[in-house]
Structure 1
Amino acid sequence: MYESLFNYIKQHSKSPISADDEELIKKSFLPRGLKKKELFLEQGSICNYTGFILKGAMRQYSVDDSGTEHIIQLAIENWWMVDRESFLMKTPSVYNIDAWENTELLVLSLENLERIHTIDAIKEMFWQMNQSNFIASQKRLNYSISLPALERYEELVKNYPDFVQRFPQHTIASYLGISKETLSRVRNKYVHK
């Protein structure tokens, strides 16, 4: 169960993990399962866990006053899912997070994160993750304000091809900040390029 997590840590850090560190990590991450459409976090609640996805797919989204969902993040195996602000600041979340597919996670509380943050490999992994997340967020913001819909879709297909296969068109459209109709036209142009 923990093999994917340990592989992830090794890929994102240079420091070795001792047997004692490995046991502490196993005690700190708890297994959790979510059924499709089950909430991991509900808007207005505090995000008490960050989750490492072992199997499945999740989405983070807000809902506006008219009931329209705005996808903030999509995640699949070997990705993390959390509302960072709510998790770190212990403030009510403005987001919902749910499972798009039946999902298996390893969840980590802030208390347990602080406990394992003494492990060099964990510190390095989280530093690397934060840097990658910041860069990806900057790119996504830049794409959404500067690229036409077709180019945004091309970037998504190039960088995250699994998303296009695993999430429905309306979710992809929301993630790209376009309508379903626009996505349909964009996909048609993309296919005929």
Structure 2
Amino acid sequence: MYLFAELLLISILSYLRNMFELLRKNIEKHLSISDADFEQFTKPFYHRKIAKKQFLLRAGQICKFEGFVIKGCLRVYYLDEQGQERILYFAIEDWWITDIDSFTNNTPSILNIEALEDSEVLLITQPYKEALYEQIPMVEKLFRIMTQKTHVALQRRMISALGKTADERYIEFIEKYPQLEQRLTQLQVASYLGISHEFLSKIRKKLSKLR
């Protein structure tokens, strides 16, 4: 019995190390961080599992978290005036996820965040994030850099949506996110591209003939 408990503890500690190692690698894409600062940085984060089709956030709720995906795939979407789903983006392992408007301004969200697969995330709340700004000076710079990159990505997505054909947008999507398309349904990809799944099917058939 003692041996089993010891092995279980070792397994849990190993899992936690791997989980936070992914977070550290993500951070160090932007900035270097010392072991001491990283240990301090991770303390406020808490781990949450989200089953497939479960919601991390529903429209009308206030988004209380900023999250880092360590496993799975989630989608961020809203319903337009006609009740149609409009997908803003997907988040898989090594991606951050939140409703930045609701999180920053403490206002009800218009977005839904739903797990498309059994998923796991590390979450941090606004008060703890603000506390980290005081405790570790580089954290504010880190989140500022990540926010800027998010704005750049959204701007490029808007320009693509306005200036490119559906064919071009689909090709751009599969080239940029080849590992993501295989995990999504045709309906989800079509919603992200802003077209019907029937039209997406036609695009795929046309492209397959050109290969």
Give the TM-score band, short-chain normalised. Answer: over 0.9
Q: Does 1:89 align with 2:125?
A: no
Moved over 4 A (4+): none
The count of aligned residue pairs is: 191
Query: CA 1:33 to 1:56, structure 2 compared with 1: closer, same or farther past 3 Å?
Result: same
- Measured after TM superposition, the shift of residue 98 of structure 1 is 0.9
Hey, what does 2:62 align to over in structure 1? 46
SS in 2 for 1:37: coil
Return 5+ residue gaps in structure 2 as ranges: 1-18
- Measured after TM superposition, the shift of residue 181 of structure 1 is 0.9
Q: Does 1:122 align with 2:139?
A: yes
SS in 2 for 1:101: coil
Q: Does 1:2 align with 2:3?
A: no
Percent identical across equivalent pairs?
A: 39
- Measured after TM superposition, the shift of residue 28 of structure 1 is 0.9
Q: Does 1:70 align with 2:70?
A: no
Aligned-partner residue type, residue 42 of structure 1: R
Bigger drift between 63-72 and 5-14 goes to 63-72
Alpha-carbon RMSD: 1.4
SS in 2 for 1:51: strand
Given the alignment, which residue of 153, 174, 178 partners 2:170? 153
Return 5+ residue gaps in structure 1 as ranges: none
1:10, 1:134 → 2: CA distance?
Answer: 20
Given the alignment, which residue of 178, 191, 205 partners 1:174? 191
1:39, 1:17 → 2: CA distance?
Answer: 35
TM-score, L = length of structure 2: 0.86
Select the structure of larger CA radius of gyration. Answer: 2
- Measured after TM superposition, the shift of residue 5 of structure 1 is 0.6
Aligned-partner residue type, residue 163 of structure 1: L
Q: Does 1:12 align with 2:30?
A: yes
CA deviations on 1:5-46 (whole Å, 9 max, x unpaired) are: 1111112114x3241x22322211101100001110010000
Hey, what does 2:118 align to over in structure 1? 102
SS in 1 for 2:43: helix
SS in 2 for 1:140: helix
TM-score, L = length of structure 1: 0.93
Aligned-partner residue type, residue 128 of structure 2: N
Hey, what does 1:140 align to over in structure 2? 157
SS in 1 for 2:128: helix
1:139, 1:75 → 2: CA distance?
Answer: 17
Which structure has the higher relative contact order (CA within 8 Å, separation 6+)?
1
Q: Does 1:33 align with 2:49?
A: yes
Aligned-partner residue type, residue 8 of structure 1: N
Aligned-partner residue type, residue 88 of structure 1: T
SS in 1 for 2:124: strand
Aligned-partner residue type, residue 205 of structure 2: N
SS in 1 for 2:109: coil
